[in-house]
Each structure stands twice: as C-alpha cells, then as structure tokens.
C-alpha cells in the first residue's frame, strides 16, 4: 500500500507525459497546460513544509539555548516581517491596501511594493556580495589545486593558465610579433572551440543517457529510493 | 602568530582606507543604501573569519529570502492559480456551463498538495509520498524528450559537422574517447583503458579551459560591488 | 627550503587580501594599462562618428539587467557621453522591464555632466513596452505604434526631436546593449527585414558566439565585455569629448591585475611545490 | 467566511494593464500582388491553425526593394469580407494563421503586398483551407525511434541481468564514501550532506538522494550525525524518508533525528550563505556536495576545504565541474553520479540498466564514426555520400 500506490502514480503520470509529447492534438496540449498548472499548485504547499521546518529548527535552538541561539530570532523575525509585507502589501504589484496608503498618505514607493524595497536593498546586495566572493575563492582554489602533480593535473593547469593569459590585454602582447594563427587569442579560441567542446559534448551525452536511464527507472519503479521504505 | 599579525595588519589597512574615503567622499543620504552597504561589508568580513556581523547577515538573509518566497508564492501562485480561479474569476464555468474537467484541474492538485500536511501526523505520514510520486513521475516523463533533444540530438548533430582538418579530427577523437571514459560495464584496461585515458586528458583540458575562461566574469562581479561601495555608498568616486 | 614549505601552506586570507587590493587600487589610482583598440570596437565608434550632429538619431536599446550591468553600464555611459558632447541625438528604449531601469539609471548618472541636454531635444527616453519582436517590427513601421509617448508620458509628436522620425529610415544606427540572446531578435527583424544598421554591446562570455555576425556584416561593430567598453572609452578620450572617469578602463585594469595576481600565484605555487618536494601524502585533487 | 473573502480581496494585487495592439493598414497606390497563394492545414499542431503560402510579389527583392510587408486576410465565404489577420516581412513566403475558430471548416485567404510607404497591392488569388488537429507529431519520429531503441536496450539488459553478477568499473568517489564517514567519526565531527539547489523534479537530485541513502547507512552504523540543509522543501521530505529508511535498515531507527534534515531557503546565495555558516560552526569531518550546483559550487567547496573536511562532490552541471575538481577530494563527473545507484546497490537489475546505457553509448559512437566517414566522403563531393550525410545530420536536427 504505502509503496504501491505512490509507485503506480509515478508510473501512470510518467507514461502519460511521454505519450503526450507525441500528440500535437488540442486535447493533449490542453492537458499539458493543465499538468504544468497542477504541478505549480502542488508546489504551493511545499512552503507549509518549508516554513514549519525552519520555525521548528530555530525554536529548538532558542529553547535549548544552543550556541548562537540569539541569531535564530533574527531569522524568525525577518521571515515574519518580510512575509507580512509581501502578503499584505503585494509582491510585484501593490495590493489594494498599499494602493490606499499611496493615495491617502502620498507614499512614494519607487519599487512598487514594500516587498520589492526589501528585495532591492537587502536581498539583492547580499546575494551579489555572496556571488562576488567567487573572485576570492577562484584565486585561492587556483593557487591550491593547480600544481603539476601528475600528467592530468599538468593538462588542467596549463590550459587554465593559457586561457587566463589570453583573456588579458597584456597576454596578447607576448605573441604580438608571431604569425596570425598562433596569436594567443586565436590559440585560446581554438582550445575553447575544439578540445574543450569535444570533451563537453562527450560529458553531456553521458549525462543525457544517465538522465534518460534514471527517468525510465523512476517510471518503471526500479529506482524508488526517493520514496523511503515500507511496503 | 607572526602571520596572523600580518593579516590583521592588512585588514586594518583596508578598514582605514574605507574610513579615509568615508571622510573624503559624499556618503549617500539614502538610508536603504546604508543598510545595503553595511550588509555587503558584513558578508565580506566572513573572508577574514566567522564573526558577529556575518552571522547576523547570514541569518537575516535566510529569513528575508524565505519571507520573499512565501510572499511571491502566496500572491502569484496561490491567489492567481487557486483562489482567483475558484472563487473570483471562476474559470471552470465556460459559457455559463459548469465544466467538471476544468474544475477538477484546479481541485485535484490542491487536494494533492494538501496531502503534504500528512507528514505532521504519525499514522498517515506516508500519504506525502503521493504528491512526491506525482511530481517526480510527471517530471521524469516530461524530461525524457528534452533530454534527448539537448543531450543526444544536439550534441551528436554538432559533432557531425566534420571537415578534413586536424581540428575536426580532434573533435571526433575527443567526443569518442570521452564517451569511452564513461563506459562502466567493462574494466578500463588494455585498449579500452588507453582510450579512456585519452578521454581523461580531454576532460582535463576542458575543465582547465572553462576555469580560466570564468575568472574574468567572477572578477567583474567584485568590481560591481566595489563600484557600489565606492560610488553609490561613499560617493568617493564620481 | 622552509620558506617554500611555508608558501605551500600559505594562509588563503593572504590571497584574499591580494585580490582585494588588486581590484581596489585601480579604483583609487587608475593605471591605464596599455590597451589596443580592436577593429570591432573602432567600427562602433566610427559608425557613431558618422552620424550627423543634430541629424538622424542613434537608437540605444538597453536590454540588460542588473546582473550584467557591471559590464554593460560603462558602454551605455560612454555612448551617451559621446553623443551628448557632440550634439548627436539619442533615443533610448528597452525590450525588458528591467532594461528601462538601467537606461534611467544611466541617464541619471550622465545628465549632470551635460546641463544643456534637454529631454525631447537632445535625447528621448521611450521606456519599456512589452512584446519584444512586435516592438522591433513596429519600429520599422512607425515608432508611435510601439511607443505612443515617451517614458514620462509626453506624446512623441510634441517632442521637437521626434517630429521627423517615423521608422528605421530616420534612425541612423541601432546599438543593442544586451546580456542575453535578444540581440538576435534585432538581427532577424531590424537588420534582415528592414536593412537597418546594428552595433552590439555584449558581455565578455557571450562575445565569442557573436563573432560570426561581425564577419557577415550583420553587425557594423561590437563591444565585448569590459574590454570593449574600455576601448570605447579610450577612443572618446582621445578625441577629447570627455574627461570623465573611465570606469571600464579602471575595471579592465582591475581585471588584468587580478588575472596577473592569479597567474603569479599559480607559478609561485608550482615553484614551491617542486622546491619543497613535499610529495608526502597528497590527496589527489585532479582526477577522480 | 465573508470577512475572510473581503480580507483576501484587499490583499489581492491590482491587475496588470495589457498593451493595446494598434496595427493599421492604409491604401493608396499599388505594387504587384503575390501569386500562387495556397492555404492548407498547419501540420503537427493542436488544430486551430491554417498555413498560408505564396510566391513573392514581382516588386519584392531583386534590387527593387519596393515591397516590405505581406498582409494576410481571411474570410468565411469566398465572396465575403476579408478581415486582416497578420503581417510578415518581405521575402517571407508563409504565414500561420493561429486565429482559426473552428477545425474542419473551410476558410478563404488572400494576401496583399505592401510597400514601405504603406501602399497595398491588389489582392492575390483566393485559396481555401481547413484546419485540423493531428494525433501524431510526424516531426518527432527521430525521438520515437531512438527512444524505443534505447528503452529496448535497458529492458533487454535488465532482463538478461537477473540473477547474474555483472561487472562495474571502479568509481573512486563512491569507494571513498565509507572512508570519509569513518574519518569524520574518528574526529568526532558530523557529516554534512548538501543536495545543491536542484528540485526534486531534477533527475540529478534523485541520484543525489540515492547517494544520501548510502551515506546515511554508514553514519547510522558509525553512530555519527548527518546534517542536511535543504533548498527545496520536497527534497527535504524525501530525504527525511530516505534517511529514516537507512537508519531502520542499519537497525538504529531511534538515532534518526528529523531535525537534522531541515529547510534553509530557496534563494541561491541565501542558501550558499547559510550552508557556509553551518560549515564554519558545525565543522563537519566529511562534506558531500551532490546534486545540482551553479555558481555557489565553488563558494561551498572552498569553505568546506577551509574547515578541513574530506569533500566528495558530484554534479551534472558541466560548467561547475572544474571548480569541484579543483577544490574537492573526489568528484563524480556527470554520468558517474547517475551510475551511483547501480554502483552502490550492486543490484542486478540496476546493473542491467548500466549495461543498457553502455550499449546506447556504443550506438552513438558508431553513429559518429559512420557520420565522420560519410562527412569526409561527402566533403570530397561524392554525390551519394553527400546526400546520405546531409540526411543523417537532418535526422538529428529534427524536433
């Protein structure tokens, strides 16, 4: 029961969606659209799990006074405030409440809604900063990993070195006086277009086969780890 | 110990540079820009070591981003796709007639989604497997054709554009040896092993190239943040 | 030997400090590392130079978002400076909602340098309208079909600059600044169908995929990433059009120095590796 | 209930305004009309569409460049009033009218050429056509054939594999799982499993969950904590089930702590910030980065390295693999990750599917080799081979 019902549901919908791909008829297109909508609707309810889990973990930390429990308040309060602002005041467009405030109190919200203000000045800057940490990490990773330990490591190191050199103007000065087709920038382009592309294609084909095989195994109920145990 | 002193010294210099610029420049008058700048610096402080500022920023980031997702899901998914169609626009009434199909197309997924709440009960917790199986099964079915398209057809087709040249030869050898590296059911020795070995060379060249190619984009992200700090916030550069 | 062993175990925060300085120093003191202007960049510059002052305008489409702004904003700034300082007219529009914000921010940034420039006379900001391909096609018929008013709600006919401008025939050149493949929409509709001239400003990562369009002449020129923007800045500075801070050149300096720092680190790392010969227990990081 | 509805009404977003379509057509003097107009059903569609094709106007192209648009008109009767339906640019010779109201009912079409000045030609000949919905997409034969071949391989090898012991080559990253967990236990540190920012609907995430099952079994045996911060709530619930199952199989269902598998956030860099924090504070001895990763891959791997953990990574994102290779101890490259479920279970059925994948790979290699030979012969302009080659390429270009 506990396994058979879910497995047959996965089987039925998997097969239906494969067949759907080959049918251009209006009924099939309509069905596809409704399926996409249904998947989004089911997805709404994930957030009940998400928020409950987050609150549980942080409440547990606060209760047991675990190290750093004070920060759990930061998470919980900022979650509550942001969700309130977004649900009451609107996400991308203002709700009627926000519109009323704008009209009667002459509020000026450049971004449209309170949520977008929070998004623009808190979430985006922090996200962009996390992203830019990569500039530092890519340097430390290069320093540590690019050592000529073995033949494969040498290949990795050399191509990275040459491509990096080819990306800066100073690099192209080195080969300035050489014939056109061994100019550094042309070499780099060739590496990117041929050996690099070749390996990428090989890897991608492998991934494709792996994905197709796993999808088939899921549909046929052979791959069932994601459902957990029981019968 | 000496090393640590050096690092502290370096960091202090960075902070002093910022303070000098703060005095020299025209700092922004927008309080939100200040918040954004302080949060930016808090996250950078993590590069030295974990500290109060980073912990605060990190926990705030998690809270705000979950709150944001909740708001967007509420407004743009729940209201638009469940609440409105069921109670306001009533999309299941076509030309004055009740359409069971369209009605169920909204109600069934809603009920399926509600099954997730079963996880909070001990006895019926397994019911959550039904929506999970529905999502995984449907996407697995939908995904097969695009996988063929993006991973098999497109890659094979672009490999096949061959000419009589060294570049083309390298392309073909590269694709085939890389594929051979992914053979699992035969031991990699003898000829197969040698071919797979060549495949690994190609893979390493590709990885080195992508690594080197990406550095520039990553640095420009840091430049973007510096621009924000020095221009938008401190106003020290015009 | 002890020295090299120490280098091998270098605290990575030293590397972070080096990178931070490599990026920060050019900001405070521009170095202007040698930079050769490539042909695609010069072609863009020449194409704009060939536009008659007070004549048919240049159309700049800001089809990018904040994520690619560090690379594309400098191009927008440089082109606005080029045009406004030489009395060439500019139209701005966006095919993405976020792009309108980028154009507005660009104008806010540049206009204080040109107190005489007037909206509707020297430049027109049309804003954003939905419908990507449709908009590009409408521009071939009549701008007013796509943009009845400018971004501030003023009807186009009451703007002096727009009086004689109907469609692509009256627009000298289009420059598309884009972080996505939307440039191809301009190629397919504006260039192929209406024979309009198009120049592109694209990110460094996507520049490679656009080279074929330069070869076929579908782009009159192209700026690729910060480097392209820096080349353009160099060209307008040489002509003496502006003395403004060259952000792309600075960014380019920062990028070059950071690259050199990383290359230097790799060399040092390998020297240390061979010198210390610490082939002791090494967890293999390359190959799995 | 009413109060609730009023409340929901108040917090509803105001509707977006829609753009207005303002296409216009004017008429004065006339270029030559297009000829040979044919209207017929659009193939391989859902119905509701008729394709109109024509030969270009005599004033189109050839230096004249007079015509720059073609306008298509439709009517319900042959004589009746023709309504404007759409426009395409010069040199185009077809238009798909998607506005057909009823399938299997005849509609009449004419096409007019239009000059740059907005002058339209006389109408072309009238042609009628019906729209129909198709039940099979004829452009997708390639998928069907290749799909059936590959599926046959899988099924065949799975059948053949039953009860046999099949070989699978060594995958170092998977062999290292036990060592990593063991070392973590010795150090008295927890194990961190990071599923990346994929959703449960991503196949790579499912593969990661299989690896999680194996990791959890080991942590249960060694009585070590396994921590797993999640990006997708559904992955979290599935992971809880997987780990619970592993602990039950290891005979320690009581040591399973649901709270260790928790939700973090669904923001890419918020997730990276949170996981970095967990790494710094929990100091895991082993870190598994398995699933779908984008730019955060290197942020996580570098932070993980700095706390001295053994790291085993795996992803199907080719762009991120170089960073895992350089920052982690072991990396599962692409397909190796999908092979993990067979490798770890050694179940004959699973092994059979690996054989099926290998057979498919062999087919691809043969296709590429044949294509190369044909391509080279075709490149020498041997007519027949040139044809075969272009047919082969076109076959793969379909869809």
Whether residues D270 and D332 fall in one domain = yes
A26 touches chain C (CB under 8 A): no
Hey, is the C-beta of D280 within 8 angstroms of any chain B C-beta?
yes
Q: Which residues of chain A have pLDDT under 50?
A: none
CB contact burial D197-235 (16+ within 10 A = b; e otherwise): bbbbbbbbbbbbbbbbbbbbbbbbbeebbbbbbbbbbbb
Query: Are C211 and C101 in a shared domain?
Result: yes
| Whether residue C95 is found in the same domain as residue C180 | yes
Whichever domain contains D112, its CATH number is: 2.60.40.10
Tell me if D186 sits within 8 A of D180, measured CB to CB.
no
Q: Is residue B161 over pLDDT 60? A: yes
How far apart are alpha carbons D361 and C113 in whole angstroms? Answer: 62
Which residues from B are below 8 Å from D267, CB to CB?
61, 65-66, 68-69
Q: Which residues of chain C have pLDDT under 50?
A: 279-288
CA separation, residue C177 to residues A79, B216, C99, C201 (Å): 37, 19, 9, 5
- CATH code, domain with C205: 3.40.50
> Is residue D120 domain-shared with residue D182, that is, in the same domain?
no
Rounded CA separation C72/C102 (Å): 10
Please indicate, yes or no, whether residues D150 and D120 belong to a single structural domain of this protein.
no
Residues 127-166 of A with CB under 8 A from D: 127-128, 130-131, 133-134, 137-138, 140-142, 144-146, 156
**Whether residue C263 is found in the same domain as residue C205:** no
Shared domain check, C173 and C111: yes
- Co-location of C48 and C191 in the same domain: yes
Cα distance between residue D18 and residue D40, in whole Å: 32
Q: Are residue C121 and residue C13 in the same domain, yes or no?
A: no
Amino acid A230: pLDDT: 58
Residue B128 has what DSSP assignment? Answer: G
The Cα C277–Cα C269 span in angstroms is: 12
Amino acid D20: pLDDT: 44
Task: Phi first, then psi: give them for residue C87, nearest 5 degrees.
Answer: 60, 25
Tokens in use for B224? 């973007």
Rounded to a whole number of angstroms, the distance from the CA of B17 to the nearest CA of chain C is: 10
Cβ neighbours of C166 (radius 10 Å): 16
Same domain, C231 and C259: no
Residue D114 and residue D239 in one domain: no
Q: Which chains touch C (3 or more CB pairs under 8 A)?
A: A, B, D
Do residues D185 and D319 both lie within one domain?
yes
Same domain, D69 and D195: no
Residue B135 has pLDDT above 60, yes or no: yes
CA distance D244 to D239: 8
Question: What's the structural domain count of chain D?
Answer: 3
- Tell me, yes or no, whether D281 and D306 share the same domain: yes
Domain CATH code at residue D293:
3.40.50
- Six-digit token string for D390: 């272009």
D147: domain range? 139-155+355-397
Structural domain that includes position C11: 2-30+253-287
- Yes or no, beta carbons of B216 and C255 under 8 Å apart: yes
- Phi-psi category of D3—alpha, beta or left, where left has phi over 0 and alpha has psi -120 to 50? alpha
Claim to verify: residue C75 and residue C209 sit in the same structural domain: yes
| Residue D303: predicted pLDDT | 96
Residue C63 DSSP SS3: strand
Q: Does residue B224 register a pLDDT over 50?
A: yes
Question: Is residue D51 in some structural domain?
Answer: yes
Summarize pLDDT for B187-197 with one digit per residue, the tens.
899 999 999 99
Cβ within 8 Å, pair D200-B136: yes
Residue window 55-94, chain A: list those with CB within 8 Å of chain D: 56-57, 60, 67-68, 87-94
D325 & D214 share domain: yes
Tens-binned pLDDT, residue by residue, of chain D (399 aa): 677 767 766 666 655 444 444 444 444 557 888 888 888 888 888 888 888 888 888 777 654 556 777 888 888 888 878 888 877 777 778 888 888 888 888 889 988 888 766 778 888 888 888 888 888 887 788 888 888 888 888 888 888 877 777 888 999 999 999 999 999 999 999 999 999 999 998 999 999 999 999 999 999 999 999 999 999 999 999 999 899 999 999 999 999 998 999 999 999 999 999 999 999 999 999 999 999 999 999 999 999 999 999 999 999 999 999 999 999 999 999 999 999 988 988 888 888 888 999 999 999 999 999 888 888 887 776 667 777 777 777 777 654
pLDDT band at B59 (very low <50, low <70, confident <90, very high): very high
Distance from the D258 Cα atom to the nearest Cα atom in chain A, whole angstroms: 10
Compute φ and ψ for B187, nearest 5 degrees. -70, 140
Residues C191 and C260 in one domain: no
**Which three-class secondary structure string do you get for chain D?**
CHHHHHHHHHCCECCCCCCCCCCCCCCCCCCCCCEEEEEEECCCCCCCCEEEEEECCCCCCCCCCCEEEEEEEEECCCCCCCEEEEEEECCCCEEEECCCCCCCCCEEEEEEEEECCCCECCCCCCEEECCCCCCCCHHHHHHHHHHHHHHHHHHHHHHHHCCCCCCCCCCHHHHHHHHHHHHHHHCCCCEEEEEECCCCCCHHHHHHHHHHHHHHHHHHHHCCCEEEEECCHHHHHHHHHHHHHHHHHCCCHHHCCHHHEEECCCCHHHHHHHHHHHHHHHCCCEEEEEEECCCHHHHHHHHHHHCCCEEEEEECCCCCHHHHHHHCCEEEECHHHHCHHHHHHCCHHHHHHHHHHHHHHHHHHHHHHHHHHHHHHHHCCCHHHHHHHHHHHHHHHCC
Domain co-membership, D213 together with D326: yes
What's the structural domain count of chain C?
2
Residues D59 and D109 in one domain: yes
Give A35-52 pLDDT, tens digit per residue.
989 998 998 998 999 999
Same domain assignment for residues D115 and D46: yes
Contacts B196 to C, Cβ<8 Å: none
Domain co-membership, D213 together with D248: yes
């Amino acid at each position: 029961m506990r396994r058979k019902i879910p497995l047959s549901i996965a089987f039925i919908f998997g097969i239906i969606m494969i067949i759907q791909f080959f049918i251009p008829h209006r009924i099939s297109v309509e069905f596809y659209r409704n399926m996409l909508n249904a998947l989004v609707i089911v997805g709404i309810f994930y957030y009940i799990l998400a928020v409950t889990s987050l609150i549980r973990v942080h409440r547990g930390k606060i209760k047991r006074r675990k190290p750093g429990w004070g920060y759990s308040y930061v998470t919980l309060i900022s979650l509550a405030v942001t969700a309130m602002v977004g649900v009451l005041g609107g996400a991308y467009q203002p709700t009627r409440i926000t519109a009323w405030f704008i009209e009667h109190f002459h509020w000026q919200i450049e971004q449209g809604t309170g949520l977008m203000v929070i998004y623009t000045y808190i979430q985006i800057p922090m996200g962009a900063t996390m992203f830019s940490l990569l500039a530092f990490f890519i340097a430390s990773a290069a320093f540590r990993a690019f050592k000529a330990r073995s033949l494969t490591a040498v290949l990795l190191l050399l191509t990275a070195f040459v491509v990096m050199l080819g990306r800066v103007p100073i690099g192209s000065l080195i080969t300035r006086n050489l014939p056109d087709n061994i100019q550094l920038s042309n070499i780099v382009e060739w590496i990117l277009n041929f050996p690099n592309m070749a390996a990428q294609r090989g890897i991608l084909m492998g991934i494709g086969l792996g994905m197709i095989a796993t999808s088939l195994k899921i549909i046929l109920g052979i791959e069932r780890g994601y459902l957990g145990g029981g019968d | 110990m000496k090393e640590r002193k050096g690092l502290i010294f370096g960091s202090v210099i960075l902070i002093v540079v910022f303070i000098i610029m703060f005095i020299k420049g025209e700092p922004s008058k927008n309080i939100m820009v200040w918040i954004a700048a302080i949060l930016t610096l808090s996250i950078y402080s993590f590069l030295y070591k974990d500290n109060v500022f980073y912990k605060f920023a990190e926990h705030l980031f998690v809270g705000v981003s979950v709150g944001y997702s909740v708001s967007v899901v509420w407004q743009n998914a729940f209201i638009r796709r469940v609440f409105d169609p069921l109670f306001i626009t009533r999309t299941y009434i076509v030309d004055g007639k009740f359409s069971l199909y369209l009605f169920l197309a909204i109600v069934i997924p809603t009920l399926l989604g509600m099954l997730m709440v079963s996880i909070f009960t001990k006895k019926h917790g397994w019911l959550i497997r039904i929506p999970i199986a529905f999502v995984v099964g449907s996407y697995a079915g939908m995904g097969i054709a695009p996988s063929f398209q993006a991973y098999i057809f497109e890659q094979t087709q672009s490999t096949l554009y061959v000419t009589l040249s060294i570049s083309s030869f390298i392309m073909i050898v590269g694709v085939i040896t890389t594929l051979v590296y992914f053979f699992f059911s035969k031991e990699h020795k003898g000829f197969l092993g040698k071919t797979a070995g060549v495949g690994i060379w190609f893979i390493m060249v590709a990885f080195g190239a992508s690594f080197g190619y990406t550095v520039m984009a990553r640095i420009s992200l840091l430049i973007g943040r510096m621009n924000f700090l020095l221009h938008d916030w401190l106003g020290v550069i015009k | 030997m002890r020295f090299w062993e120490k280098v091998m175990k270098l605290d990575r925060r030293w590397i972070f400090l080096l990178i931070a300085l490599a990026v920060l120093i050019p900001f405070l003191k521009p170095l202007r590392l040698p930079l050769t202007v490539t042909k695609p960049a010069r072609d863009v510059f020449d194409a704009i130079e060939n536009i008659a002052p007070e004549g048919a305008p240049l159309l700049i489409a800001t089809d990018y978002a904040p994520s690619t702004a560090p690379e594309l904003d400098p191009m927008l700034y440089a082109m606005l400076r080029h045009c406004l300082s030489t009395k060439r007219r500019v139209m701005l529009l966006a095919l993405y909602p976020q792009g309108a914000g980028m154009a507005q921010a660009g104008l806010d940034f540049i206009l204080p340098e040109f107190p005489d420039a007037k909206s509707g006379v020297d430049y027109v900001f049309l804003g954003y309208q939905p419908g990507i391909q449709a908009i590009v096609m409408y521009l071939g018929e009549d701008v007013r079909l796509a943009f009845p008013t400018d971004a501030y709600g003023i009807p186009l006919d009451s703007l002096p600059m727009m009086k004689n401008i109907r469609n692509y025939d009256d627009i000298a050149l289009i420059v598309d600044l884009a972080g996505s493949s939307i440039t191809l929409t301009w190629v397919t509709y504006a260039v192929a169908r209406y024979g309009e001239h198009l120049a592109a400003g694209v990110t460094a990562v996507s520049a490679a995929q656009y080279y074929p369009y330069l070869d076929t002449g579908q782009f009159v020129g192209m700026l690729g990433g910060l480097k392209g923007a820096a080349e353009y800045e160099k060209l307008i500075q040489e002509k003496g059009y502006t003395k403004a801070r060259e952000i792309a050149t600075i960014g380019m300096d920062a990028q070059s120095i950071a690259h050199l720092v990383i290359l230097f680190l790799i060399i040092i790392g390998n020297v240390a590796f061979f010198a210390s010969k610490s082939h002791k227990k090494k967890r293999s990081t390359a190959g799995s | 209930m009413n109060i609730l509805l009023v409340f929901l009404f108040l917090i509803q977003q105001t509707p977006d305004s829609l753009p207005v379509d303002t296409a216009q057509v004017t008429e004065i003097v006339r270029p030559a009309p297009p000829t040979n107009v044919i209207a017929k059903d659009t193939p391989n569609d859902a119905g509701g569409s008729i394709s109109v094709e024509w030969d270009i106007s005599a004033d189109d192209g050839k230096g004249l460049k007079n015509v720059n648009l073609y306008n298509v008109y439709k009517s319900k009767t042959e004589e009746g009033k023709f309504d404007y339906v759409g426009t395409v640019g010069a040199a185009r010779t077809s238009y798909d009218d998607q506005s057909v109201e009823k399938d299997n009912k005849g509609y009449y079409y004419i096409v007019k050429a239009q000059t740059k000045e907005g002058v339209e030609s006389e109408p072309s000949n009238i042609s009628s056509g019906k729209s129909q919905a198709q039940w099979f997409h004829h452009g997708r034969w390639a998928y069907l054939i290749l799909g059936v071949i590959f599926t046959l391989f899988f099924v065949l090898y799975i059948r053949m594999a039953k009860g046999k012991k099949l070989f699978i080559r060594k995958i170092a990253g998977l062999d290292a799982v036990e060592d990593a967990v063991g070392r973590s236990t010795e150090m008295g540190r927890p194990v961190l499993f990071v599923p990346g920012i994929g959703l449960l609907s991503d196949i790579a995430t499912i593969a990661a969950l299989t690896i999680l099952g194996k990791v959890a079994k080991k942590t249960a045996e060694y009585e070590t904590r396994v921590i797993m911060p999640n990006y997708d709530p559904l992955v979290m619930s599935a992971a809880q089930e997987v780990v619970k199952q592993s602990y039950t199989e290891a005979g320690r269902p009581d040591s399973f702590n649901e709270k260790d598998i928790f939700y973090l956030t669904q923001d890419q860099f918020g997730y990276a910030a949170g996981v970095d924090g967990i790494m710094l504070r929990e100091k895991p001895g082993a870190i598994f980065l398995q699933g779908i990763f984008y730019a955060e891959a290197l942020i996580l791997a570098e932070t993980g390295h700095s706390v001295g953990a053994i790291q085993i990574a795996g992803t199907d994102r080719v762009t991120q693999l170089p960073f895992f290779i350089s920052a982690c101890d072991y990396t599962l490259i692409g397909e190796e990750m999908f092979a993990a479920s067979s490798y770890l279970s050694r179940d004959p059925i699973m092994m059979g599917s690996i054989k099926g994948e290998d057979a498919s790979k062999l087919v691809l290699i043969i296709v590429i080799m044949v294509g190369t030979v044909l391509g080279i012969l075709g490149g020498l302009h041997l007519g027949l081979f040139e044809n075969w080659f272009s047919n082969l390429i076109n076959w793969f270009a379909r869809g």
